[in-house]
Chain A
Amino acid sequence: MDATQQPMIVIKNLTKHFGRVKAVDGVSLTVEAGRVMVIIGPSGSGKSTVLRCINHLETPSSGEIWVDGIQLTHDHKNINAIRAEVGMVFQQFNLFPHLTALENITLAQRIVRKRGEAEARRVAHQQLERVGIPEKADVYPGQLSGGQQQRVAIARALAMNPKIMLFDEPTSALDPEMIKEVLDVMQDLARSGMTMVVVTHEMGFAKNAADEIVFMDRGGVVERSTPDDFFSQPREERTRLFLSQILR
């Protein structure tokens, strides 16, 4: 990696309150281009909130966020510009149910990226191929399995040619037998050099795909390390407790 290259994501001292509840309390993180960061932690630890602050789905209470060298402000133009560069995959897929899989993927390309219909369709078919369901182009989300829906959602985000992909517990709403097909797609994506931030409970994925693991608890970062260190020799007591509960 080029040492002079600026980091893809820089988060400085991020805090987020919901009313009187402090969901995120002074988090600072850096993600280099092409790296995969996996954030794990118990529910309510603020990991999803950090992720949602990166594309401003949550407005930070304080702190700075830089995406690809551009600071995130409250300006709408700035936010939309950054969102077009940051793909997001949700726990509940959030496909548009009134549109076919293909239309789900072409919509934002046409109205945000201003691509022509033919170009958008070409990209959409290409991305559906990439996630392994080219035959589902003309099917509505309601007729797809959860795993297929999530793969369409990933294709929809990728079609925008994002520089960063955010995953917010992408397999938590899936039946067990469908988790692998989604993780495989994410694994491929990681190998292709995409910058990724993934909030997940899938320890196997964290072990195999992450360059760095961040463990969060009660709104703060408890520990950052490589997957090997994280699972074999966690430094913090809280991390050890969490791992002992989750790795049975």
Chain B
Amino acid sequence: MTLPTSTARSQPGSSQGQFIDWLAHLPWWLLFMLLAGVILTFAIFSDDLYSLIFSKLQNGILTTLSVTVVAYLIAVLLGLLGGLGRVSKNPLIYNLATLYVQVIRGVPILVQIFYFAFVITPGVVGLLNALGEAINPGGLLASLDNQDIPMLARVVTALAFAYGGFEAETFRAGIESIGRGQMEAARSLGMSYLQAMRYVILPQAIRRILPPLGNDFVSMLKDSSLVSVLGVRDITQEARLYMAASFIYPPTLNMLAFLYLSMTLVLSLVVKWIETRMGKSGH
């Protein structure tokens, strides 16, 4: 991150107007964030209450990060498949992919999470039970229980499918942004449709959609807080539990927001670094 300060403007005593101008151009928002960050970090080490809250919330950091990474990776995979489906000439595949994307885009993520947890999971378990009963009565599949599917798995699946719908449109846009001539050239060399996709179209498309894919990774980190509604103990859930027991709101929420901000900031930098690296390696 670069600070847009100008050394020419900052010469002291040149004139009052220039000094005010210099002040106005300082990135105050960043200074404010840094200050808040320093104060909170300091508080964690010196203030008993803040250090207690931090020790509670830190138990959820690993959950937050792993939910984010796992759900995101599955979402990108679903997005790739969905995107390929959206550009497919096969009517069945196209319609299935479009149905998926439209349903996902029209239903709030929170509602989707409830659906996966309390409708789709029991439904799938029931289906597996029926299948298991038919194949091997009393076997493992037949005796599968709803309780065996942890909330964590349900909510990660829900987030993955929700984001997968958005990533599908990102992939579709990326694929469609590559000129028709590329596919024609690949096909005229004897490549199959899928070979042309894999070796010619997708490598170019993915490079183009890296920025939105990276943004969605950061968004996923924030939306991972939704897992708390199913009692999965990420940092949001840890904060809720602590507040419910202690009625200490402001410091807890300060600490929660501080943790999210630090993580998204670090992730944004990582994403930016990956983008520049991938951008440099090709043309």
Comparing A31-39, A81-89, A210-218, the segment that makes contact with chain B is A81-89
Interface string of B155-179 (1 = CB under 8 A from A): 0000000000000000000000001
Answer yes or no: B187 CB below 8 A from chain A CBs: yes
Beta-carbon contact of A107 and B190 below 8 Å: no
Measured in the bound complex, the distance between the Cα atoms of B191 and A107 in whole Å is: 10
Measured in the bound complex, the distance between the Cα atoms of B183 and A96 in whole Å is: 10
Answer yes or no: B204 CB below 8 A from chain A CBs: yes
Measured in the bound complex, the distance between the Cα atoms of B106 and A73 in whole Å is: 43
Query: How near does chain A come to B258, taking the closest CB pair, in angstroms?
Result: 41
Q: Which residues of A contact B7 (CB under 8 A)?
A: none
Beta-carbon contact of A140 and B283 below 8 Å: yes
Q: Which residues of A contact B203 (CB under 8 A)?
A: 98
| Given A80-B192, A111-B195; A96-B187 close (CB under 8 Å) | no
Beta-carbon contact of B181 and A97 below 8 Å: no
Beta-carbon contact of A94 and B190 below 8 Å: no
Which residues 24-45 of A have a CB within 8 angstroms of B?
none
Q: Which residues of B contact A140 (CB under 8 A)?
A: 282-283
Measured in the bound complex, the distance between the Cα atoms of B188 and A83 in whole Å is: 5
Which residues 97-152 of A have a CB within 8 angstroms of B?
97-98, 107-108, 111-113, 140-143
Measured in the bound complex, the distance between the Cα atoms of B191 and A113 in whole Å is: 10
Measured in the bound complex, the distance between the Cα atoms of B183 and A92 in whole Å is: 13
- Number of B interface residues, CB 8 Å? 20
Answer yes or no: B199 CB below 8 A from chain A CBs: yes
Number of A-B contacts (CB under 8 A): 70
Indicate the size class of the contact surface on chain A: 20 to 34
Beta-carbon contact of A157 and B189 below 8 Å: yes
Beta-carbon contact of A90 and B181 below 8 Å: yes
Answer yes or no: A76 CB below 8 A from chain B CBs: yes
Q: Which residues of A contact B21 (CB under 8 A)?
A: none
Q: Which residues of B contact A76 (CB under 8 A)?
A: 192
Answer yes or no: B184 CB below 8 A from chain A CBs: yes
Interface string of A66-87 (1 = CB under 8 A from B): 0000000000100011011011
Q: Which residues of B contact A98 (CB under 8 A)?
A: 203-204, 207, 282-283
Question: Of residues A81, A107, A111, which shows the largest number of chain B Cβ atoms within 10 Å of its Cβ?
Answer: A111
| Given A98-B203, A108-B191, A111-B195; A90-B185 close (CB under 8 Å) | yes
Beta-carbon contact of A90 and B184 below 8 Å: yes
Answer yes or no: A239 CB below 8 A from chain B CBs: no
Measured in the bound complex, the distance between the Cα atoms of B191 and A111 in whole Å is: 8
Answer yes or no: A195 CB below 8 A from chain B CBs: no
Measured in the bound complex, the distance between the Cα atoms of B184 and A55 in whole Å is: 10
Q: Which residues of B contact A81 (CB under 8 A)?
A: 190
Closest to A166 in B: B188
Beta-carbon contact of A141 and B188 below 8 Å: no
Answer yes or no: B182 CB below 8 A from chain A CBs: yes
Closest to A55 in B: B188
Query: How near does chain B come to A241, taking the closest CB pair, in angstroms?
Result: 32
Interchain residue pairs with CB less than 8 A apart (26): A57-B184, A57-B187, A80-B192, A81-B190, A83-B187, A83-B188, A83-B189, A88-B188, A90-B181, A92-B179, A94-B185, A98-B282, A107-B189, A107-B199, A108-B186, A108-B189, A108-B191, A111-B191, A112-B189, A112-B190, A112-B195, A113-B190, A140-B283, A142-B283, A143-B283, A157-B188
* 8 closest residue pairs by CB, A with B: A84-B190, A94-B185, A108-B189, A88-B188, A94-B181, A112-B190, A140-B283, A83-B190
- What would 12 more interface pairs be, CB under 8 Å, given A83-B188, A96-B186, A153-B185? A80-B190, A80-B191, A88-B185, A88-B188, A97-B204, A107-B189, A111-B195, A111-B199, A140-B283, A143-B283, A156-B189, A157-B188
